[in-house]
């Protein structure tokens, strides 16, 4: 058992990786059988090129997440977005997610770094769902460019409470879990 406050030791090869590899091999085999080796190799090389382009962003995001754990004062993060921060902490996390302009590699890593620095799971969920649902970058650049402004306003207003409600649900489930133990 891991002592409190210590991160759990992660396995290099876990069930998720094994499942992903099985799906990868099955889908690759299906492409080979249905479309032939030329399409298989072309797709594989295209995907490897995309992965090579994405890798620096992933590495940067992971390094940022690790650095945040050392740089940010744990007490301040816990006060802003820890388990006792209430709805205000969830709102701070949601707004941070909404204004963060990065892609998933950076956003997920940043969220993990903040959680390692003292933010709770509920704040992490509020941050990621705020990024997914309320991204200022996507709303300003894409939605308002192509959609009527009243439509975008209704969408934002309808999705605005969702990250906070998700965070409250996570905190409620965590309290029930602690009470059951």
Q: How many CA atoms lie within 13 A of 33 on its CB side?
A: 6
**pLDDT, tens digit only, all 181 positions of the chain:** 555 556 667 778 888 889 999 999 999 999 999 999 999 999 999 999 999 998 888 888 778 777 877 787 888 888 888 888 999 999 999 999 999 887 887 788 888 888 888 899 999 999 999 999 999 989 999 999 999 999 999 999 999 999 999 999 999 999 888 888 7
Please tell me the predicted confidence (pLDDT) of residue 100.
Answer: 85
Rounded to an integer, what distance in angstroms lies between the CA atom of residue 118 and that of residue 123?
Answer: 10
Q: Could you tell me how many helices (H) and strands (E) the chain has, helices first?
A: 10, 0
Rounded to an integer, what distance in angstroms lies between the CA atom of residue 101 and that of residue 136?
Answer: 8
Please tell me the predicted confidence (pLDDT) of residue 122.
Answer: 95
Q: Residue 69 contacts by C-beta under 8 Å, 6 or more apart in sequence?
A: 113, 116, 117
Please tell me the predicted confidence (pLDDT) of residue 4.
Answer: 57
Please tell me the predicted confidence (pLDDT) of residue 11.
Answer: 79
Rounded to an integer, what distance in angstroms lies between the CA atom of residue 141 and that of residue 34?
Answer: 40
Please tell me the predicted confidence (pLDDT) of residue 6.
Answer: 63
From 63, 76, 70, select the one nearest 110 (Cα to Cα): 63
CA angle 113, 96, 117 (to 5 degrees): 25
Rounded to an integer, what distance in angstroms lies between the CA atom of residue 117 and that of residue 20?
Answer: 29
Please tell me the predicted confidence (pLDDT) of residue 88.
Answer: 95
Tokens of 53: 């382009």
Please tell me the predicted confidence (pLDDT) of residue 68.
Answer: 76
Q: pTM higher than 0.85, yes or no?
A: no
Please tell me the predicted confidence (pLDDT) of residue 114.
Answer: 86
Compute CA 49 distance to the chain's CA centroid, rounded to the nearest angstrom.
23
Please tell me the predicted confidence (pLDDT) of residue 58.
Answer: 80
């Amino acid at each position: 058992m891991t002592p409190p406050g210590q991160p759990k030791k992660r396995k290099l090869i876990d069930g998720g990786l094994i499942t992903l590899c099985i799906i990868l091999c099955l889908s690759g085999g299906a492409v080979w059988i249905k479309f032939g080796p030329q399409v298989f190799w072309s797709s594989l090389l295209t995907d490897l090129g995309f992965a090579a382009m994405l890798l620096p962003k992933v590495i940067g995001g992971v390094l940022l997440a690790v650095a945040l754990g050392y740089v940010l004062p744990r007490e301040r993060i816990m006060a802003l977005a820890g388990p006792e921060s209430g709805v205000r902490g969830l709102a701070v996390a949601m707004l941070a997610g909404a204004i963060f302009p990065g892609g998933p590699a950076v956003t997920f890593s940043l969220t993990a770094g903040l959680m390692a620095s003292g933010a709770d799971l509920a704040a992490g969920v509020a941050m990621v769902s705020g990024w997914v649902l309320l991204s200022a970058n996507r709303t300003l650049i894409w939605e308002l460019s192509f959609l009527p402004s009243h439509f975008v306003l209704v969408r934002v207003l309808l999705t605005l409470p969702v990250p906070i409600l998700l965070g409250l649900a996570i905190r409620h489930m965590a309290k029930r879990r602690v009470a059951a133990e």
